[in-house]
Every structure is written in structure tokens, then in C-alpha cells.
Structure 1
Amino acid sequence: MIGPANESRSTADSSRRVWMIVAALAALALFFPIGATAAYLTSVKDAPTTTGGTGRWCAVPDPATHPNVYRLKSFQPYSSTGSSIIIVPVVNNGEFGPKGTSRRLGVKAWACKSDSLVSNSQVKVTAWRTSTSPTLNWLPRVNGNGFASHRLDPLNGFGAEIVKLHRNGSTGVGGASLTLNDRQKYSWLMSSNRNKTTREAKPRCLATACILSIDENPTFASAFEPDTSGSGPSDNSVEYLASSYWTGSGQWDGGLVSGPSEQQVNLNGYAGPQPPFSNGNGPTSSDGRQVQWVVMEWWGSTPPSNDMVLEVFVR
């Protein structure tokens, strides 16, 4: 006969074993690479780096299984300037979200832990219309064969052309600003005074001829949202939708003295050639409704954490 003391001891031993198994599984989850899981459970040790709190799950899309998701830490170093850049061709063919719908170009900034979300590093995302027959130089593909997996070389050809505009504008004098026809190529995503609290900001037009200012750029802290506290699902992403000052087939929407009006950047359905296409044999349209070239860059003294990713989409 088992007495009350033995029964209590047996129950306590069973409870201890259950909690030991739970603790072991939690520890395994904590140390399993985020590149494989794209999620983690906060512990007492790393709770100070997230606002989510101890024992809270947080996840970001995994670039290994979502080619339209790009990890900042994996961006290509850009020369010796201390920044890292990638350029991605974006079309409406289902790779960047369901084909059809409203066709709006956008980018979503994801993060979990807040220890890299600082004010001494910055991020900038812009989009550009193509020229009629651009010189296209490609880097090796990443995670697939489609548009989302391709990277345009930022140091040569058309890539170098739009990186110059993205970083310095038309002249590089007085900050990044665009003049004349360069204004008709630009769409803003995470630039032109945008951040997570002013996601609808748009570029200022300076002077009567509308010199287009495409600075300021958000810091990591002002662009990303870490996991928020509370009992509901984690809220750790910020959405930015592309806008422009060109319209129709690419005309500048504004006069010499009249200001332009903001336009949504929507992409037509695409079923044309797949990259890497040779010069002049890719998308035939240069009006921005068939392909957008999205330039993503980060720089600063604090590198991004593994869970800081950008998701480019066509909604």
C-alpha cells in the first residue's frame, strides 16, 4: 500500500520531470538558429533586449523560405563607404504577394529584439523606374531563380546609376535631391522624412522649380518596431507604401511653379521574360507600372541583428 507521503513524493517527482522537460525544450528553442526558425522565445537573460517580456514568442519572415524577405545583415557591402546595399527588381507576378489585388508596392520592416534598434545607424529604401534600355549587371542569385532572388550590381551599369540617385540625388549638393527628369524616376518608401510615426511623409519641393529633397532617412530605432508587450500576438512590423510624383506613363505630375500631387505606385500584372535578361530584352516598359527597382541600404556604427528583415511586397 502506498501511503500519502509516498504518493505526494511521486506526484512531486512527476511535476519536476515535466518542468525539466519544458525547461529543456525552451532552452533548445532559445539557442536554435533564427535563420532556421525565424522565431524565438524570450528568457530572463534576453528579456531586457525586447519589450515583449519573458516567455513571449516573436517571429519574423524567414528569407530562406520567403525570397521577397531580405535580412539587413546579409546586404552586399558597398565599396568602402561603410554602407551595405542590395537592388531588387520588383514585378507583380505573385513572387511579392498574391498576383492582382490593389497592386500597391510596399515594404514592411520586421524586428523582434530591440538591442540593435539604435539611433546611430540608419536605413533607406527607395524605388526607381527603369530607363528604356538599361545596362544590367547581375550579382549571384539568392534563395531561388525569380525576380525576388536577383540582385543588380550597385557598382556598374544601371545599378550604379540608380544608387547614385538613391544616395546623392542629381548633384549631391546640399543633401540628396533630384532635379528635372530625375524627379520622374523616384518613388519613396523609407526616405523623404518617413519613419514609423510619419509613414505618410512625402518629399519637400524646394524652390519654384521643385528641387526634390529625398532625405531624411530613418534610424534603426525610428524605422523598426520591436516586439510589443501585452498578452496578444506580437506586433513587430511597420508597413511603408510606395508613393511618387510621376503619373500615367511616367510623366512628372507638376508644373514649373505648381507643386506635384502624390501618386500611389501600383504595378500591372507581369508575365514577361524572367531575369537575368540581357540589355533591351527584359521588361519593355519604362513607365514604372511594369517593374520597379527597389534599392535597400543601411549604414552606421551598430550592425543590424539577425532578426531585422525587410519584406518587399506588391499588395
Structure 2
Amino acid sequence: MRIQFRMPSVAVLAALAVTAMIAVGLPASTTAASLTASGSATTSAGMGSWCSVPNPSVSGNVYSLSDFTEIQAPESTTDTGAAKTTVRMLVLPVVNDGSFDPVEPLPAQVGGVDNQLGVRLWSCTPGMSSTQSIKLTAWRGSYTATAASAWVWDVAPTSVSFAQARLNAGANLAINGATTTTTRPGTEVRDAHRGINNLGGQSGANADPVTMRYSWMLTNGRTKNADFTNDPACASKTCHVDGGAGVTNYNNVFSGVDTAAASNAVFQNSTTYLAEKYYSGAGTWPSTTTTTTQLQCSSQTRERIWFWYTDWSAWSAWTDATGTACPANTDLRQYRSQTVPRTVTVDSVPTVTPTVIAPKGSNTNDALLRDTTGTLIQYVVLEWWGTGTPPADLEVEVFVK
């Protein structure tokens, strides 16, 4: 843990602080007002107040905002000379391999289900930037046929840990189109996260591909003091749900202190946001199937030649009736009816479901990267932007519950 002390009188208590730290088993060697340890401290031993956050060098699934990669994010899909936006971003392939286990147990009020993806924001700074912005999203992959050369890594995953892996997100052009065999995954999710890439766009009766691949964690609509399950609206198959505008003002989403009351997302100096989505399976729109009965009719006819009738023809094939009864019989046509069971499937209004990542099991890294269900891998994008650099104690922990 990185531990920050807020001492009542540094000049008077410096020596006592060292003594107290030794007494409670904390490292006594400090630099300025912070020190680093792999454990967590839970008592100030009468020496004033302090605050601890995880140590990224010990916990590979913890990422300090000040260490995010700075990229020039393109705004154009065709012009390499077009304006670019400076952002700090990490694109992480998240699997349930143990390297994304929570660094400490999640508080009870967080809720959620086993193996659910989520993020926890850690901080010790009491007053944070009100102008910087943050956005954290997750995306189902669609890379079954992606060429090996399209996988461009800053740090490739190992056979034992994905937490250290980083997809490269620095391509000079933005992407706005359906996934192809040459699409770079890091670039595609970068631009989908930023709202530039519509992944081919909604077409006809098909569901919007962005909605079918997107899971929200922290974006506009969620804060530490509001209901942290506040979800984007989606009532029909044509709805478009994406990463939104992000959240401006860190004080609205980080706890920032070690004395905050446990409520909603907040527990002491951390806040937790769980991943949720509207799609199911490999991007399937929810539907409702019912069994009902269908009236069918069959008819036979005969001709009238002057004063007499010919014989009845053979019965026609059964056809679905358009109403609740077959037509009335006449001299030249008569009907028979039957009812048959009929299964009817209709699109339904989607319900929010947790984004769950199953244990890795015996799957190879290649199989995990090419999963299209979102149940073996989620591509998580962490981004902040704005003037200045956040303090080192502002961190994002990505976990599988």
C-alpha cells in the first residue's frame, strides 16, 4: 500500500511518527509525506490521521492515473493531419486469471455477483481537480478472424497474467466501421470508447452494434453520492448506448478521504463501480418466446354447370387464418378448420445484466483474445483528460469480483 500521513505537527511529531510506525509494523523509512508497503494499515496509533492506497508495483491490476500513457487521439478517420486530442489512456484485456482479483475484499454495500467486472477508485487527496475528466468503459470483443499482425501491444500478456498487458492505442487514424480481419483491437475500442466509432452503425432490424458490445462502469450519470447503478436508458432494439461524455470533477467520483461514510459506491477512501450491459451472449438482443394457438383453414371448391354442380375438389393445404374464424361456407366453396400450437418470438425491452467474466480455465491466450461472448475477456478502456497531472495516490483498480 502507498500510505499518506496527515500529521498535526510535522516538526514536533516527526520522531514520534517513526517510533509509532515501527511499533505498528510499518516501514520507518519515508520520503516526504508518504511511504510504500505491500500491506494495509488500519490504525493511526494516535499519531494523527493517515490514508492508504494500493501499491501498483505490488498489485498489477492497480493503475495510477499519473502513469497512464499519453496519446494524441485522432479525431479523423481519413486525415492524419487533422486535429488530435491529448488524452491519457490504457486499453486492458481483462480475463479471470487471478491477476485481477480484488486487492482487498469488497464492502458489502457494493453488491453485484460472483465474477462480475468492476473498478475501484482509490485516493487520499482531500481536494481533487474539479476540471479534469475520467471515463472507464468495457467492450466485448469481435476478433475471431483478426489477423495476428493486427494485435499491437505495448505490453503483451503472459501465460500467467493479463494484468500487466497493454494494447497499443496510438494509431494515427480513428476507426469508424465494422470490424474486419485487419482491424486493430486497441484502436477500435479506443475510438468506440471515445464515441467516434459506431462499429458499422445500426442497420435495419438489427440491434445497434455499439449497444451490443458496450458495458458501462464509470461515465456520465454515475457518481459516488448518487445511485451508483444509475444506468443509461434503452427501450427498443434501435437504442444507442455508448461511453457518453465521462465525468468531470474527480471529487464527484473519488472518495478522497479515509473517513467517508459507507454508502452507495463509497467505502472509506475508495469508490466501487460495477460493469453492466444490455446485450447477452455474443451480442444477442433479448427476446420473449411464447406458445399460443393458431387457427388454420382449408377449403374445397366445386363448379356449377347450368343446373347442376360438379363434385367437390380435393381439400387445399392448411393455411393460417387472418381472423378468429374461417370464412362461411357457400354453394361453391366450403371450409374446415383446425387449431395448431404456434411458438412466437418477439423482441423485448432489455434489462440490465451484470458483465461477468468466467474463470480462464484451460483456454489459451489466443482463445481468450478471440472470444466474442464477452464472458472470457472484456477490453477495458481507462481514460482521463484535462490540464495538469493527478496526484500519484489517485488510482484505478480493475477487478473481477
Deviation, structure 1 residue 283:
3.8
Q: Which runs of 5+ in 2 are unaligned?
A: 1-11, 22-27, 73-83, 103-112, 172-183, 200-206, 289-345
Q: What are the within-5 Å matches in structure 2 for residues 32-71 of structure 1?
A: 34=35, 55-71=48-64
Q: Distance between the aligned counterparts of 1:89 and 1:96, measured in 2? A: 11
Q: Distance between the aligned counterparts of 1:273 and 1:74, measured in 2? A: 31
Change over 3 Å in CA distance of 1:227–1:141 after alignment to 2: farther
Alignment partner, residue 3 of structure 1: none
- Match status 1:90 vs 2:117: no
Aligned length: 274
Q: Distance between the aligned counterparts of 2:95 and 2:389, measured in 1? A: 30
Q: Is 23-32 or 120-129 further displaced after alignment?
A: 23-32
For the aligned residue pairs, the C-alpha RMSD in angstroms reads 3.7
Q: Distance between the aligned counterparts of 1:258 and 1:108, measured in 2? A: 33
Deviations, residues 290-315 of structure 1 (Å, cap 9, x unaligned) = 00011000001242110001111111
The normalised TM-score by structure 1 is: 0.74
Deviation, structure 1 residue 24:
5.5
Deviation, structure 1 residue 191:
1.4
Tell whether the 8 Å contact from 1:95 to 1:147 is kept in structure 2 after alignment.
Answer: yes
Tell whether the 8 Å contact from 1:137 to 1:153 is kept in structure 2 after alignment.
Answer: yes
Tell whether the 8 Å contact from 1:87 to 1:295 is kept in structure 2 after alignment.
Answer: yes
Deviation, structure 1 residue 38:
8.9
Partner residue of 1:150 out of 143, 146, 165: 165
Tell whether the 8 Å contact from 2:139 to 2:214 is kept in structure 1 after alignment.
Answer: yes
Alignment partner, residue 329 of structure 2: none
- Match status 1:118 vs 2:129: yes
Alignment partner, residue 211 of structure 1: 240
Alignment partner, residue 187 of structure 1: 215
Identity of matched residues, % = 29
Q: Distance between the aligned counterparts of 1:61 and 1:28, measured in 2? A: 18
3-state DSSP class of the match of 1:246? coil
Q: Distance between the aligned counterparts of 2:40 and 2:97, measured in 1? A: 28
- Matched letter for residue 265 of structure 1: T
Q: What are the within-5 Å matches in structure 2 for residues 96-107 of structure 1?
A: 96-97=100-101, 102-107=114-119
Partner residue of 2:393 out of 302, 307, 312: 307
The normalised TM-score by structure 2 is: 0.59
Q: What are the within-5 Å matches in structure 2 for residues 133-148 of structure 1?
A: 133-134=145-146, 135-140=150-155, 146-148=161-163
Q: What are the within-5 Å matches in structure 2 for residues 145-184 of structure 1?
A: 146-156=161-171, 157-170=184-197, 180-184=208-212
Partner residue of 1:202 out of 231, 243, 252: 231
Change over 3 Å in CA distance of 1:36–1:283 after alignment to 2: same
Alignment partner, residue 323 of structure 2: none
Q: Distance between the aligned counterparts of 1:64 and 1:155, measured in 2? A: 24
Q: Distance between the aligned counterparts of 1:138 and 1:165, measured in 2? A: 18
Deviation, structure 1 residue 212:
2.0
Q: Distance between the aligned counterparts of 2:157 and 2:369, measured in 1? A: 21
Q: Distance between the aligned counterparts of 1:84 and 1:20, measured in 2? A: 37
Deviation, structure 1 residue 259:
3.5
Deviation, structure 1 residue 192:
4.3
Q: Distance between the aligned counterparts of 1:20 and 1:262, measured in 2? A: 52
Q: Which has more strand, going by share of residues?
A: 2
Tell whether the 8 Å contact from 2:277 to 2:354 is kept in structure 1 after alignment.
Answer: yes
- Matched letter for residue 133 of structure 1: A
Tell whether the 8 Å contact from 1:97 to 1:313 is kept in structure 2 after alignment.
Answer: yes
Larger radius of gyration: 2
Q: Distance between the aligned counterparts of 1:166 and 1:253, measured in 2? A: 23
Tell whether the 8 Å contact from 1:124 to 1:218 is kept in structure 2 after alignment.
Answer: yes
Alignment partner, residue 21 of structure 1: 15
Tell whether the 8 Å contact from 1:95 to 1:148 is kept in structure 2 after alignment.
Answer: yes
Q: Is 62-71 or 21-30 further displaced after alignment?
A: 21-30
Q: Which has more helix, going by share of residues?
A: 1
- Match status 1:292 vs 2:378: yes
Q: Distance between the aligned counterparts of 1:273 and 1:108, measured in 2? A: 27
Tell whether the 8 Å contact from 2:275 to 2:355 is kept in structure 1 after alignment.
Answer: yes
- Matched letter for residue 21 of structure 1: A
Q: Which runs of 5+ in 1 are unaligned?
A: 1-17, 42-53, 173-178
Deviations, residues 161-219 of structure 1 (Å, cap 9, x unaligned) = 111110024459xxxxxx71121110000014112123111123488721225324223
Partner residue of 1:266 out of 349, 356, 365: 356
3-state DSSP class of the match of 1:187? strand
Deviations, residues 95-142 of structure 1 (Å, cap 9, x unaligned) = 1117xx811110000000124x22200111000011123431100369
- Matched letter for residue 382 of structure 2: M
